[in-house]
Structure 1
Amino acid sequence: MSEVSSWLHGQRIPVARETSPQRRGPERANRGGARRNPHMGMGYDLERFVGYVNEGLLCCVCRDVLERPLQAPCEHAYCAACISSWLIHHHSCPEDRLPLDISTLRPLHRYMRNDLSRLQIRCVNSGQGCDAVCCLETLHTHEDECPFALMPCSYTGCPVQVERRGLESHLSECEFRSRACPSGCGHTLLSVDQSQHNCVAELRTELELLRAEMLGKVEEVRCEMESRLDSQRRHMVQKESLLKSEVEDLKGQLSRVVCDVRALLGAERLRRQELAEAELEKRELLEMLRSLQPCRGQWNRDEPIRGLHQEDGPIRSQNLVEHPTRGLLREGPTHASTQSLPSASPTPALFPPTAPQPGEGSHKAGPRSITLDCIKRSREVTVI
């Protein structure tokens, strides 16, 4: 709090730095004047700064100038890397031993950050001859462009590190630089291998490598194709067995359908035969009806005569039952015709239907065939 109060009043009170190794931290105590890499994140070396540095801008762990500072609730400031390493094994402030957790850390106050950014610091490459002094805020920009910074060679295999200002000249003379073969074989050569390069041998070696690579790829493709063919073959065998079973099922269904069709065709033939017989009977009936039209007219003319014979009807009927042929012949053609024409009631009694001949179907014994036989026998009686 004393440092914060002195900042608020615009005063900077010099504070004597402790020399005890325990208070200076392990990095500072064991350094022994050695210069530290500024990118390690453990604070900036105090010896690099030009001018006075306030005690409040020093890390409480490493005792160097704050780098990426964080502040605790007790107002003590630390480098981010220092306090993170400290809190792994401790849970208190390294300065006043108050309880401390990493979640309670917060950024440094703005006025302290401004003072920290305005500090003048020498370039890290001052040992190589760089005499640049810049603000801490612009230090990283200068170090990224410093011509005295050591840069590794970009060629593979070269272990040399040179200053940025001499890197281009080194790349032009580096033994590990590569370029195309001047003989035109197409190989890229290093400067150290150019004297031992043999285009024919290199091309043969490359050819052998390509042949081996091609054979390997051919073998790989062959194995892949064989595996694929085996898989397809197994699939085709399964498909074939499945299709065979389906064909057998279809054959059974087809045989059943054929039997059904044959039965339907037989039924259709019987139906057509019955229809033809019915049509034939219909035509015969129509012809008989047309032939009976004259008899119906004669029946109407003989109506008065039929009234005269009603008295001896029972006697004549008895005679006809006893001697049907004699009675018909005695009465003559006129009486025979008058006895044969009354509707259909006497006709079946006088001439009962005969039994069907052998070979005729049972369907001919129906009502239509009986009616047809009655009409035929009526006609025979009429003719007689």
Structure 2
Amino acid sequence: MGYDIERFVGYVNEGLLCCICRDVLENPLQAPCEHAFCSTCIHGWLVHHHNCPEDRQSLDVSVLRPLFRYMKNDLNRLQIRCRNREHGCDMVCSLESVDRHERECEYSQIPCINASCPILVERRNLEAHLAVCEYRSRECPNGCGYIILSADDAQHNCIAELRTELELLRSEMICKVEEVKHEMESRLDSQRRHMVQKESLLKNEVEELKSQMSRVMSDIRTLLAAERLHRQELEQAELEKRELMELLQSFQRDIRMEGGGRKAVGSRTLTRLDSMKRKPREVTVI
């Protein structure tokens, strides 16, 4: 719907009237046939019709365009009275600025800011109304800290209110304690399962280390036994070496001392060598 033509001061051009509601254009749109309409009016019309309401030419919402600039300028320059004129406002301003004025007009009817209050008051009288509004709230004068409505002054009981608050706090605390308890139990169960798994893994690792240690000790004992055997063989070989050296030295002395009796000396020496070959090696393995 457009602006009521009765609100305007002076002459209003016919071309600035909506072809549907016949009021002054509000948020205007223009058809290709140059007929102009209020945005709300033409959208409502095209829901049930598909033509221009003025000349019946085919019309679709997609072809609607903003008003020509010169027409828009003429529209904005129109002088209009404030809608709060019946409440005492005498303001007359351009159509372009009327919305801004009405948002701030002291004669505008606005709702009381107190919750549940159904009264509409003029903006200029809002402070006076708030001072006496039965839905106004204030802090309890007895010091309990509660915000009470003026209508509830007679029913307000500080002790009862504080007792109710205490019960609510107790209930909330119990709920929180239970939540924390459940959370801690859940964490402990999780930690317990983790520790059991860790203990099992550690036991397996310890058993594996024991097995490895047993194999290493067995290998060490085998190596020690082999080393003792090798040492004994070396000692035996060293002993035989010394005997051979003594025998050789003895053989050389016999040759020098006995001169012509070389066959007898050689015979004795061969006999000793043969006895050494036949001598069994005794090795003790621990």
2:278 maps to which of 353, 372, 382: 353
Deviation sequence 1:49-73 (CA, Å, 0-9, x none): 1222112111122221111111122
Cα distance in 2 for partners of 1:105, 1:48 equals 27
Q: Which amino acid aligns with 1:141?
A: R
Q: How does 1:72-83 map to 2 (within 5 A)?
A: 72-83=31-42
Cα distance in 2 for partners of 1:300, 1:55 equals 164
User: 1:300, CA displacement in angstroms?
Assistant: 7.2
Map of 1:11 onto structure 2: none
Map of 1:379 onto structure 2: none
Give runs of ≥4 in structure 1 deviating > 6 Å.
none
Q: How does 1:206-221 map to 2 (within 5 A)?
A: 206-221=161-176
Q: Which amino acid aligns with 2:115?
A: T
The answer to whether the aligner puts 1:222 opposite 2:187 as a matched pair is no
Map of 1:265 onto structure 2: 220
Q: How does 1:93-242 map to 2 (within 5 A)?
A: 93-194=52-153, 196=154, 201-202=157-158, 204-236=159-191, 238-239=193-194, 241-242=196-197
Cα distance in 2 for partners of 1:58, 1:300 equals 160
The answer to whether the aligner puts 1:44 opposite 2:3 as a matched pair is yes
Residues 144 and 251 (structure 1), Cα distance of their counterparts in 2 relative to 1, 3 Å cut: closer
User: 1:264, CA displacement in angstroms?
Assistant: 0.9
DSSP 3-state at the match of 1:186: coil
Q: Is the 8 A contact 1:59 1:77 kept in 2?
A: yes
Q: Is the 8 A contact 1:60 1:76 kept in 2?
A: yes
Cα distance in 2 for partners of 1:337, 1:70 equals 150
Cα distance in 1 for partners of 2:41, 2:11 equals 23
User: 1:183, CA displacement in angstroms?
Assistant: 3.9
Q: Which amino acid aligns with 2:161?
A: E
Cα distance in 2 for partners of 1:280, 1:139 equals 127
Cα distance in 2 for partners of 1:134, 1:351 equals 146
Larger RCO: 1 or 2 (CA < 8 Å, sep 6+):
2
Q: Which amino acid aligns with 1:336?
A: A
Q: Which has the larger radius of gyration?
A: 1
User: 1:341, CA displacement in angstroms?
Assistant: 4.7
User: 1:121, CA displacement in angstroms?
Assistant: 1.0
Q: Is the 8 A contact 1:69 1:80 kept in 2?
A: yes
Q: TM-score, normalised by structure 2?
A: 0.83
Q: Is the 8 A contact 1:66 1:78 kept in 2?
A: yes
Q: Which amino acid aligns with 2:77?
A: R
Deviation sequence 1:136-172 (CA, Å, 0-9, x none): 0111122122222222222223322222222222222
Cα distance in 2 for partners of 1:183, 1:221 equals 31
Q: Is the 8 A contact 1:299 1:338 kept in 2?
A: no
Q: Which amino acid aligns with 1:280?
A: E
Map of 1:35 onto structure 2: none
Residues 352 and 164 (structure 1), Cα distance of their counterparts in 2 relative to 1, 3 Å cut: closer
Q: Is the 8 A contact 2:251 2:265 kept in 1?
A: no
Cα distance in 2 for partners of 1:167, 1:185 equals 29
User: 1:248, CA displacement in angstroms?
Assistant: 4.9
Q: Which amino acid aligns with 1:215?
A: R
Cα distance in 1 for partners of 2:184, 2:106 equals 66
DSSP 3-state at the match of 2:110: strand
Q: Is the 8 A contact 2:28 2:38 kept in 1?
A: yes
Map of 2:267 onto structure 1: 339
User: 1:87, CA displacement in angstroms?
Assistant: 2.5
User: 1:225, CA displacement in angstroms?
Assistant: 3.2
DSSP 3-state at the match of 1:148: coil
DSSP 3-state at the match of 1:91: coil
Q: Is the 8 A contact 1:302 1:338 kept in 2?
A: no
Gaps of 5+ in 1: 1-41, 306-330, 363-384
Once structures 1 and 2 are overlaid, which stretch shifts more, 64-73 or 242-251? 242-251
Deviation sequence 1:5-55 (CA, Å, 0-9, x none): xxxxxxxxxxxxxxxxxxxxxxxxxxxxxxxxxxxxx21111111222112
Cα distance in 1 for partners of 2:223, 2:87 equals 119
Residues 113 and 352 (structure 1), Cα distance of their counterparts in 2 relative to 1, 3 Å cut: closer
The answer to whether the aligner puts 1:58 opposite 2:17 as a matched pair is yes
Q: Is the 8 A contact 2:136 2:150 kept in 1?
A: yes
Q: Is the 8 A contact 2:18 2:38 kept in 1?
A: yes
User: 1:135, CA displacement in angstroms?
Assistant: 1.0
User: 1:131, CA displacement in angstroms?
Assistant: 2.1
Count matched residues. 285
Residues 127 and 239 (structure 1), Cα distance of their counterparts in 2 relative to 1, 3 Å cut: same
Identity %: 40
The answer to whether the aligner puts 1:291 opposite 2:246 as a matched pair is yes
Q: Is the 8 A contact 1:44 1:66 kept in 2?
A: yes
User: 1:112, CA displacement in angstroms?
Assistant: 0.3
Cα distance in 1 for partners of 2:55, 2:235 equals 134
Deviation sequence 1:79-114 (CA, Å, 0-9, x none): 122222222333322222333222222111100000
Q: TM-score, normalised by structure 1?
A: 0.64
DSSP 3-state at the match of 2:12: coil
